[in-house]
Structure 1
Amino acid sequence: MSMIGTIDVDVGEPLSLHQRILSDISERILSGAWAPGQRIPFEHELTAEYNCSRMTVNKALSQLAKAGLIERRRRSGSFVRRPQSQAAVLEIHDIRIEVEALGLPYRYERVARHRRRSSAEDRALLELAAAGPVLALECRHFAGKRPFAREQRLINLAAVAEAADEEFHAIAPGPWLIARVPWSAAEHRIRAVAADRHIAAALDIAVGAPCLVVERRTWSAEHPVTHVRFTYAAESHTLVARFTPSQG
């Protein structure tokens, strides 16, 4: 028995037409061949493709919708559902894990890397008392074929000198820092923005589309380490926080 999303498909015996339709469509979605928001073939087209009854196709599509892989719209057809990722507000997480939890292949891309003396804006973002060397990075994280998040990061080289020698082509700065610098404090700020032309180009969305921005600062033993800004298309990301009653 193998699991595709939340759909069980028996692989020890020949697949029935119903199971074959489930398997084929699930594979195309989870592999990224069919992107989120893409319309899948109409029922009559699938009926012709698989040479089966409309009832068989309808049953398969209903199961795919129940599993959260597609969205069925009356009179418009069925569309690949945009996956909703959930990130804990109070955690520092790896975007790779977040993407792979959606059942999608992850890819990372470094867009830009600049080493410079900190500007007034850099010092405000990092809460630096004096000017010093910083590393500015811009990266993109992909879920399947689509951009998932834009990352803009500043690293305080006075706190993490070895970052100056890392190109960040093969590894994203987040997991690289977590593996090398024990953080002692972190701060999250969350806000909504409309995509400007830079965000729209990075995330492959329309200018003005709603986005979720998560900004984080981290410190190690009172020394500012990094400031990072993640920007997500609002429809593809959810933030989660869990609280317990105060004991005061």
Structure 2
Amino acid sequence: MNLSDRIRADLETRILSGEWKPGHPIPAEHALMAEYGCARMTVNKAIAAMAAEGLVTRRRRAGTVVAAPATERAVMEIADLAEESARLGLAYRHTILARAVEPSAAGPVLSITTLHERGGEPLALEERRISLSAVPEAADESFAEVPPGTWLLQHVAWSEAEHVIGARAADTTLARHLGIPRGAPCLTLDRRTWQAGEPITEVRLTYPADRHHFTSRFAQTRETLPGER
């Protein structure tokens, strides 16, 4: 076994044993280089192989973390509206409508309201609260270039998420922002995320019902396929 395979085996043992849970950060490359006395390329090769297997997720600026199991990722997928728009070939922009730091029982939170537009028409109204105890740097971020959801995905690793899909009729304010009649049906997605049990953010995204739908595709693992036990 070469050194890259040994590093990979050591890290995989800690993940597969449950010692490192989904969302747990993998030691930085420089730390692994010092521990094993090797070059960065050797460490990078080991982590790249683990990422290819879906055991870890590499996130720009947030580092490498243990990935959620594939069946969990399917139902816990967190969409990046800007990235999704680019994939569809549609122009995207966002506008910060309001922001304020507010007290809460768990500490101060940044309350921020964002309007997302795609293809020249409103896509969603985002009403988000970010825990400044968990993400203090959010207080100084303008979110002018990158919307809050995208910024969080780039900077903060999460280990648990909860999604609740619902519906509501547009009130006067919502109708004005989304360019729809008052009382028009809307879809809502309420999401909360945690890192190692600590709340990170909670958000409500409201979409005009005729401009959006939710979908998820996932498969059973081979261990649970009928007739294979």
Q: TM-score, normalised by structure 1?
A: 0.57
Which residues in structure 2 correspond to 1:1-248 (within 5 Å)?
90-118=76-104, 130-245=105-220, 247=223
Taking only aligned residues, the RMSD between alpha carbons, in angstroms, comes to 1.6
Larger Rg: 1
The ranges of structure 1 where at least 4 consecutive aligned residues each deviate by more than 3 angstroms after the TM superposition are 245-248
Q: Contact conserved, 1:94 with 1:175, CA < 8 A, in 2?
A: yes
Q: Secondary structure at the match of 1:236?
A: coil
Q: CA deviation at 1:89?
A: 5.3
Show CA shifts across 1:93-113 (max 9, x none): 110122233332111111111
Show CA shifts across 1:118-144 (max 9, x none): 2xxxxxxxxxxx341000000011112
Q: Contact conserved, 1:90 with 1:241, CA < 8 A, in 2?
A: no
Higher strand share: 1
Q: Contact conserved, 2:82 with 2:150, CA < 8 A, in 1?
A: no
**Amino acid paired to 2:193:** T
**Amino acid paired to 1:217:** R
- Segments of 5+ residues of structure 2 without an aligned counterpart are 1-73, 225-229
Q: CA deviation at 1:182?
A: 0.6
**Amino acid paired to 2:126:** E
Q: Specify whether residues 137 and 197 from structure 1 end up closer, same or farther in structure 2 by C-alpha distance, changes over 3 A only.
A: same
Q: CA deviation at 1:244?
A: 2.8
- Segments of 5+ residues of structure 1 without an aligned counterpart are 1-87, 119-129
State the identity %: 49
Aligned length: 150
Mapped to 2, the partners of 1:237 and 1:131 lie a distance apart of: 34
